A and B are shown apart, each in its own frame.
Chain A
């Protein structure tokens, strides 16, 4: 601790005296704050909550840890490399903007940097990761003015950009996961049986094959890096809800819609939707519902708004999954609903604060 402090102080002095290094002050300050906390004191109220954004973000990361570790087991140590690339290049953009704006660096990026790799296919080339994360952070967040002002979830912006720009890479790189022994912990990548296979959603759509629930739950199916170990996702999501960091309304509305809607529409309009249970546990739905749709910045803040947007997300996801050429509806629908978030909130507020009513 002393050592870190001394080093930081020294570097700070050097940087303070150097015209060029001065621009990197935000980086040093961020590190300083990261390690040593704050020395500011309150005014009124005299005490404030111990929670801060750093801990909040760390908790999201903790909630993602089971999934991340499991994904290393399923897809090999290369996953670590993908995560590192994501952090490095996303961080680069973040730092550039902080330096450019002379503002401090915000912690929100720590979550984006981890979620982004989790929604990519396991075989994704590293340069694609770098391009995607840079695009996502830049156009998903920074152009709006940084954390707290963004309309779209940066990870999803990056992912959707990749899907549209490199459709081949993003839809062809499916592998079967390791399932024996130490699996991916001792392999770099699944080369032995690197047969490209299809995700459960594709299997169902093209051949009507329904993957078994146990395979879906415990990661024995093809899919994006972090979306297949669904037990871990559910555990992480519930953890955040219990910690009161994530509001339960939106995920509940989203998942309930996805579960109920197929029954209704199969009855009413006789299209062939896969049944609710299968819908719930396939694709990136759970990861999206718990970790991305609930991103507080980009989801409605009003309670009715959360119900509405959850329900809309559900319907949209199913429609895209079943009626469009894309297999994966979650990312597109979240992106779309993100765009409607301000509208939903405004409508809810309008209804709630009708003029001339005593409160």
Chain B
């Protein structure tokens, strides 16, 4: 059923940033060398089943462990294992399997037992296909199957939220993901998921601005009484689990835990498409569609790449080199900075954003009309000329100053805490129960407060610091959460995240 549009209090809508990826997709050339991390997405790090010198084929499982929360990992090319070693991958030592391609064919071996007529498959088979394809490790809590791919079993899922809100400054194109036949495949994927999670209610949440897609979906799903469609305003950070749960389910979120702990699974559209591909076509999840965004890219498009492809294979010819560039993974507000372009992409990549690293100073910067400058206030020309594209860069646009209590951070904060108040307590070293009471552990690190602050205070960082200090003093976020929620699978969740 189509529900009325919804949104949440706070947040900020990033409009019309320059360098949005066009709804065009190209296949990246086959990599000569892939580096495959043995921890991708949700789940524990696995041990390699292959060793140096082994021949592997694309889609072959090279790591799997059914006894820990995890999903299998595949080789993404046909080739020979060159090395298995640990490398620093996003601030974590991760084991990597390095494979040299010896056959650049794009063929991928299908997983056995798949069927276009999935309704005839048994539940067990479907779950197995999803698990073996590796798609079950996507997103924050993975897809529950009987193979321990998530922290709760599939029957315990009460709500499944599938979202394609696109609230970041740069988003993958919904039009592209759900083009033509993909829309039908996507809905099939949703039905498959409903089948393995029989006790769940499904909530599709889509960008309210994509009218035509919503209409089509509403028409195609009008018969399904277990499925609701919600148009959501694409306001950052609507796509976060912590915000989706209250907006859609009117339910509090156990901050610091995962939605799965309250029986909710949240997936994005690529994961659902992956489920369809796995069950109906037996495709292991070794390819990923990545949106290449930002003004420092020559042509903003989407590319389909094999997992393990080094970033330089993707970026080398696409990036503008005239100016210094900062490359960021997934989100301009919270994403990792990609300094080392020899690192590979994994299953969790969805965006690569490149913006100018703007160190040079600007004459009378604060007096410029600001035709392309984005701001929470409406004090730039961009605020009244919404059709002109905004050009982001990494400059701080001002000196750090003491807080003037303007309240922007409070108005923007999506979880209704008061960032400047917390920051003042932390900076004065007043770290005690008071700030826990003020909700310091509710911070979801979305970074909006730091974004909007005109005094350029790194609020998010200070709040994080406060959380750490508070935890060291023995106040734990569990104190704010456990008494009020009946959480499931806590031990497993700890096991995966505290590794």
Give 5 A-B pairs besides A299-B405, A301-B407 with Cβ atoms closer than 8 angstroms.
A46-B333, A50-B374, A52-B454, A55-B367, A59-B379
CB A284 to nearest CB in B, in angstroms, measures 23
Q: Is A20 an interface residue (CB 8 A)?
A: no
> Interface with B: A188-196, A242-250, A331-339, which one?
A242-250
Q: Which chain A residues numbered 1 to 43 have a C-beta less than 8 Å away from chain B?
A: 1, 33-43
The residues of A that contact B364 with a CB separation of less than 8 Å are 34-37
Closest Cβ neighbor of B442 among chain A residues: A359
Given known A-B contacts A46-B335, A148-B403, A296-B407, A244 and B376 have beta carbons under 8 A apart: yes
Q: List 22 A-B contacts (CB under 8 A).
A: A38-B365, A38-B398, A45-B332, A45-B450, A48-B396, A48-B397, A49-B376, A49-B397, A50-B375, A50-B397, A52-B398, A52-B455, A52-B456, A53-B399, A54-B366, A243-B379, A244-B378, A244-B379, A299-B405, A301-B421, A349-B421, A353-B439
Q: Is A297 an interface residue (CB 8 A)?
A: yes
CA distance A245 to B355 in the complex (A): 28
Q: Which chain A residues numbered 114 to 150 have a C-beta less than 8 Å away from chain B?
A: 146-149
Q: Is B393 an interface residue (CB 8 A)?
A: yes
- A52 and B399 contacting across the interface, CB-CB below 8 Å: yes
Q: Which chain A residues numbered 140 to 173 have a C-beta less than 8 Å away from chain B?
A: 146-149
Closest Cβ neighbor of A104 among chain B residues: B399
Q: Is B498 an interface residue (CB 8 A)?
A: no
- A38 and B394 contacting across the interface, CB-CB below 8 Å: no
Interface string of B144-156 (1 = CB under 8 A from A): 0000000000000
Q: Which chain A residues numbered 85 to 128 have a C-beta less than 8 Å away from chain B?
A: 104, 106-108
Q: Is B4 an interface residue (CB 8 A)?
A: no
- A44 and B461 contacting across the interface, CB-CB below 8 Å: yes
Task: State which of A39, A45, A54, A243 has its C-beta within 8 Å of the C-beta of B460.
Answer: A45
Closest Cβ neighbor of B254 among chain A residues: A358
- A108 and B404 contacting across the interface, CB-CB below 8 Å: yes
- A37 and B361 contacting across the interface, CB-CB below 8 Å: yes
CB B142 to nearest CB in A, in angstroms, measures 26
- Ranked 5 nearest A-B pairs via Cβ: A52-B398, A148-B402, A37-B365, A358-B484, A45-B447
Residues of B within 8 A of A (CB): 169, 252, 326, 328, 332-335, 337, 355, 357-367, 370, 373-380, 392-399, 401-408, 410, 416, 418, 420-421, 437-439, 442, 447, 450-456, 458, 460-461, 480, 483-485
CA distance A42 to B358 in the complex (A): 10
Given known A-B contacts A42-B394, A247-B407, A359-B442, A36 and B362 have beta carbons under 8 A apart: yes
Task: State which of A38, A55, A243, A297 has its C-beta within 8 Å of the C-beta of B404.
Answer: A297
CA distance A38 to B395 in the complex (A): 8
- A296 and B363 contacting across the interface, CB-CB below 8 Å: no
Q: Is A47 an interface residue (CB 8 A)?
A: yes
The DSSP consensus for interface residues of chain B is: loop
The residues of A that contact B375 with a CB separation of less than 8 Å are 49-51
- B451 and A49 contacting across the interface, CB-CB below 8 Å: yes
CB B464 to nearest CB in A, in angstroms, measures 10
Given known A-B contacts A41-B394, A46-B337, A349-B438, A33 and B405 have beta carbons under 8 A apart: no
CB A218 to nearest CB in B, in angstroms, measures 28
Closest Cβ neighbor of A32 among chain B residues: B361
The residues of A that contact B399 with a CB separation of less than 8 Å are 33, 38, 40, 52-53, 104
CA distance A1 to B363 in the complex (A): 7
- B437 and A355 contacting across the interface, CB-CB below 8 Å: yes
Q: Is A58 an interface residue (CB 8 A)?
A: yes
Task: State which of A45, A297, A301 has its C-beta within 8 Å of the C-beta of B451.
Answer: A45
CB A124 to nearest CB in B, in angstroms, measures 29
- B363 and A37 contacting across the interface, CB-CB below 8 Å: yes
Residues of A within 8 A of B (CB): 1, 33-56, 58-59, 104, 106-108, 146-149, 242-245, 247, 296-297, 299, 301-302, 349, 353, 355, 358-359
Closest Cβ neighbor of B392 among chain A residues: A47
- B401 and A45 contacting across the interface, CB-CB below 8 Å: no
CA distance A47 to B360 in the complex (A): 15
Given known A-B contacts A44-B447, A55-B366, A301 and B484 have beta carbons under 8 A apart: no
- B377 and A353 contacting across the interface, CB-CB below 8 Å: no
The residues of A that contact B408 with a CB separation of less than 8 Å are 244
- A49 and B404 contacting across the interface, CB-CB below 8 Å: no
The residues of A that contact B442 with a CB separation of less than 8 Å are 359
Task: State which of A35, A56, A147 has its C-beta within 8 Å of the C-beta of B363.
Answer: A35
- B404 and A43 contacting across the interface, CB-CB below 8 Å: no
Closest Cβ neighbor of B409 among chain A residues: A301
CB B366 to nearest CB in A, in angstroms, measures 4
Residue from B332, B394, B421 having most chain A Cβ neighbours under 10 A: B394
CA distance A107 to B454 in the complex (A): 12
Closest Cβ neighbor of A295 among chain B residues: B404
CB A247 to nearest CB in B, in angstroms, measures 6
- B370 and A242 contacting across the interface, CB-CB below 8 Å: no
- B377 and A244 contacting across the interface, CB-CB below 8 Å: yes
Residue from A33, A41, A242 having most chain B Cβ neighbours under 10 A: A41
Closest Cβ neighbor of A149 among chain B residues: B402
Closest Cβ neighbor of A103 among chain B residues: B402
Closest Cβ neighbor of A297 among chain B residues: B404
Given known A-B contacts A47-B332, A296-B405, A297-B404, A38 and B361 have beta carbons under 8 A apart: yes
- A46 and B332 contacting across the interface, CB-CB below 8 Å: yes
- A51 and B447 contacting across the interface, CB-CB below 8 Å: no
The residues of B that contact A355 with a CB separation of less than 8 Å are 437
CA distance A40 to B396 in the complex (A): 6
CA distance A37 to B483 in the complex (A): 50
Closest Cβ neighbor of A359 among chain B residues: B439
The residues of B that contact A242 with a CB separation of less than 8 Å are 378
CB A165 to nearest CB in B, in angstroms, measures 29
- B451 and A48 contacting across the interface, CB-CB below 8 Å: yes
CA distance A108 to B399 in the complex (A): 13
CB A253 to nearest CB in B, in angstroms, measures 15
- A46 and B355 contacting across the interface, CB-CB below 8 Å: yes
The residues of A that contact B416 with a CB separation of less than 8 Å are 359
- A46 and B454 contacting across the interface, CB-CB below 8 Å: no
CB B325 to nearest CB in A, in angstroms, measures 12
Task: State which of A50, A148, A359 has its C-beta within 8 Å of the C-beta of B370.
Answer: A50
CA distance A358 to B441 in the complex (A): 12
The residues of B that contact A41 with a CB separation of less than 8 Å are 326, 357-359, 394-396
CA distance A58 to B375 in the complex (A): 16
CA distance A40 to B337 in the complex (A): 17
Given known A-B contacts A39-B361, A359-B439, A51 and B376 have beta carbons under 8 A apart: yes
Given known A-B contacts A39-B361, A301-B418, A48 and B450 have beta carbons under 8 A apart: yes
CA distance A161 to B169 in the complex (A): 50
Given known A-B contacts A38-B395, A40-B396, A46 and B328 have beta carbons under 8 A apart: yes
The residues of B that contact A58 with a CB separation of less than 8 Å are 366-367
Given known A-B contacts A38-B396, A46-B335, A359-B252, A51 and B377 have beta carbons under 8 A apart: yes
- A49 and B395 contacting across the interface, CB-CB below 8 Å: no
CA distance A49 to B437 in the complex (A): 29
Closest Cβ neighbor of A56 among chain B residues: B454
The residues of B that contact A359 with a CB separation of less than 8 Å are 252, 416, 439, 442
The residues of B that contact A38 with a CB separation of less than 8 Å are 361, 365, 395-399
CA distance A249 to B54 in the complex (A): 70
Residue from B366, B373, B416 having most chain A Cβ neighbours under 10 A: B366
- A50 and B380 contacting across the interface, CB-CB below 8 Å: yes
CA distance A1 to B394 in the complex (A): 23
Task: State which of A47, A49, A147 has its C-beta within 8 Å of the C-beta of B394.
Answer: A47
CA distance A42 to B363 in the complex (A): 19
The residues of B that contact A54 with a CB separation of less than 8 Å are 366, 398
